[in-house]
Amino acid sequence: MLQQSRTMTINKGTNGQNPFQVVGDQIDACARILKLSDEVVAILKKPARELHVSIPVKMDDGTTKVFSGYRVHYNDALGITKGGIRFHPDETIDTVRALSAWMTWKCSLLDLPLGGAKGGIICDPKQMSQGELERLSRAYIRAVYSFIGPEKDVPAPDVYTNPQIMAWMMDEYSVIAGKPSPGVITGKPVAAGGSVGRGDATARGGMYCIREAANRLGIDLDGATVAIQGFGNAGYHAAVLCSALFNAKVVAVCDSRGGIYNEDGLDADKVSSYKKLTGSVSGYPDTQSINGDDLLELPVDILVPAAMENAITAKNAANIKAKIIAELANGPLTPEADDILFNNGIHVIPDFLCNAGGVTVSYFEMVQNNALYYWREEEVREKLDAKMTTAYRNVFETSQEYGINMRQAAYVQAITRIVEVMQIRGWV
């Protein structure tokens, strides 16, 4: 089953902001704190390289359709690049650039020996058969073959792609290479060289951050209330884990078609089963209907944006009542919203920290592929916990030291490491 999409106009987000411009603004803010030179900022603001491809695919009706695809390597100072592949009808190069930048900061922040990348294809996978999706996936790999590889750039699943698609892509690369190449792709099925623990890694990593934040803020998670915007892969697993790990109460969830609220709490598995039958969480029995905007403003302890970019802006940030915002989505807050929330004392766990569990376990998958030795799920979770906990604590301490918000502190941590390596390598 394909992963849930963020419902949005991707090129400018739901609130008219180009995500790559947001990246530039965030880099500028970090540069002022660190007093970076213009030369360093210029490198940080530009992708190292990008590939645009046209992908002809034979459709089931006998016609040939040409799809547009992208792959961007943003910065490889720390090592080979890593990042997902998105299938979306509103995909744009600026979104891919922005996401590849965030992947760069994410890998640096988690102390991974990886640079950042991202890829995408403009398509509507909901309107395509399995055969068409397989032909598109294989054709994309043929188009970008020289641009990726186990020692160059390792893709992974993202919006509307999944382990099966990764398996097709891995197989196509292996056919062209003339040898088995499981290390070229992560997020594969476990039977094809994937890692156990990858399915809920993004949400689980976010839970470890929420735990650390609650400890520092003095919030008791036992019985704490949670609202989750987005009920795809990350949102669903977040709902399950909030209950399983903390005994917290998920009172509201939503997807692109609507939302539901019940002050007594929701059973994530039952809601998920209902959505599989109906296509949406909307209308789930014994709940109150609620839209996504209203969900954001509920008086809950923890708010988890796991859907759209630019969901919280200057227009609604002052209405947010949660004590902790855990960003499982990429870019759900605008810079203006960050300032408002920080001034209002709301603790934001920024996206490229909070949702870094996915790339961290993808890195673990790379390590296991290279070693030809696979870990138990308990080992994966222990190693993920250690990585996420260390990263959170470093960011929190930096925010306290500089008197800045958590996102700015995450940028300071990530970019400091990248700039240091750029200087050591003689780039600047």
Exposure class string for 43-55: b at 16+ Cβ within 10 A, else e: bbeebbebbebeb
Exposure class string for 213-222: b at 16+ Cβ within 10 A, else e: bbeeeeeebe
**Residue 65 annotated as catalytic:** no
What are the CA-CA distances from residue 289 to residues 4, 138, 242, 255, 260 (Å)?
A: 20, 42, 22, 12, 5
DSSP symbols for 120-148: EEE--GGGS-HHHHHHHHHHHHHHHGGG-
With beta carbons less than 8 A apart as the criterion, state whether 187 and 85 touch: no
Measured distance CA(217)–CA(400) in Å, rounded: 13
Identity (one letter) of the amino acid at 218? Answer: G
Residue of 12, 118, 188, 387 marked active site: 118
What are the CA-CA distances from residue 235 to residues 14, 228, 342 (Å)?
A: 19, 6, 24
- Specify the residue for token string 């408002």: 340
With beta carbons less than 8 A apart as the criterion, state whether 280 and 254 touch: no
Measured distance CA(41)–CA(56) in Å, rounded: 38
- Positions marked catalytic: 118
